């Protein structure tokens, strides 16, 4: 979780450019997701959380924009990504494969859960056949390795009934991309993924795939009750997702 931190130490310079708004309630939401996964499947996932406010550090950007020269912020950026990579390496050593969820919050007018695979919104407007035939596109996504493992087509993996968006929609959460919403509406906004899933997903190799999980405020982050409901739905969905696409049960 790169954008849920609240600490603003005076000895860390404020960032001079870039987005500085916090993703409110993403940390308690993530904690509930961890609880539900542990309760349901008996294992506790790794969680890497930046405690610095985004005015001080943005771990979801390359170092120059992320820390903007401040030595403490630079050190924190390195620690965040080294910790993330160590977690990925540990998962690979134990299981041979894995999934990284980069949890964020958005306030787009279309209040859907947005799944980011490093596929731009205009590219999602293509047909399923066009997506499946574009090997260069598939190879540039953060689920490159998972596409090779899954028995489903690439388009189905991204927006079919057994995609993460499809599974969450089945449990009452509108998603993008998904069977009901294949691509974003013009000018509605869509976050396709940035640094974290590019650096630690499987785009450049490895067997940990990544998904940027952008959670809307309404009905997901706004209250503890809604956070819990989403955490339950996501935990249930991930159980199916792993069985279908990774070919293994979480428990």
Q: How far apart are CA 46 and CA 97, in angstroms?
A: 14
Q: What is the pLDDT of residues 159-182, one digit of tens each?
A: 999 999 999 999 999 999 999 999
Q: What percent of the chain stands above pLDDT 90?
A: 98
Position 187 pLDDT exceeds 90: no
pTM reported for the whole predicted model: 0.96
Closest by CA to 212, choosing from 227, 192, 184, 237, is: 192
- Number of Cβ within a 10 Å radius of residue 110: 15
Contact 106, 22 (CB under 8 A): no
Residue 28 has what pLDDT?
97
Length of the chain measured in residues? 251
Give strand ranges (E) for 80-196.
98-106, 113-116, 175-176
pLDDT at site 207:
98
Q: What is the pLDDT of residues 68-110, one digit of tens each?
A: 999 999 999 999 999 999 999 999 999 999 999 999 999 999 9
Hey, what's the torsion of the CAs at 106, 150, 154, 205, to 10 degrees? Answer: 70
- Residues 136-165 have pLDDT tens digits of 999 999 999 999 999 999 999 999 999 999
Which pLDDT belongs to residue 75?
Answer: 98
Percent of the chain beyond pLDDT 70? 100
Q: Which domains does the chain have, with CATH numbers?
A: 26-48+97-246 (3.40.630)
So what's the pLDDT on residue 188?
A: 84
Is pLDDT at 121 greater than 90 in this prediction? yes
């Amino acid at each position: 979780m790169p954008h849920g931190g609240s600490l603003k130490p005076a000895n860390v310079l404020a960032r001079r450019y870039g987005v500085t708004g916090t993703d409110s309630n993403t940390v308690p939401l993530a904690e509930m997701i961890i609880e539900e996964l542990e309760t349901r499947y008996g294992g506790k996932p790794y969680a890497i959380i930046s405690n610095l406010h985004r005015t001080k550090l943005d771990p979801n950007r390359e170092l120059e924009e992320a820390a903007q020269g401040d030595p403490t912020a630079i050190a924190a950026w390195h620690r965040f990504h080294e910790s993330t990579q160590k977690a990925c390496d540990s998962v690979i050593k134990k299981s041979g494969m894995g999934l990284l969820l980069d949890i964020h919050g958005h306030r787009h007018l279309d209040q859907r859960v947005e799944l980011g695979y490093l596929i731009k919104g205009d590219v999602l407007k293509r047909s399923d056949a066009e997506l499946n035939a574009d090997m260069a596109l598939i190879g540039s996504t953060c689920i490159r390795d998972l596409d090779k493992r899954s028995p489903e087509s690439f388009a189905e993996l991204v927006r079919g009934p057994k995609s993460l968006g499809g599974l969450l929609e089945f449990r009452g959460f509108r998603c993008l991309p998904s069977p009901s919403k294949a691509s974003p509406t013009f000018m509605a906004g869509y976050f396709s993924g940035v640094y974290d899933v590019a650096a630690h997903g499987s785009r450049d190799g490895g067997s940990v795939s990544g998904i940027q999980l952008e959670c809307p405020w309404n009905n997901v982050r706004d209250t503890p009750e809604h956070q819990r409901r989403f955490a339950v739905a996501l935990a249930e969905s991930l159980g199916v997702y792993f069985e279908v696409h990774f070919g293994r049960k979480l428990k």
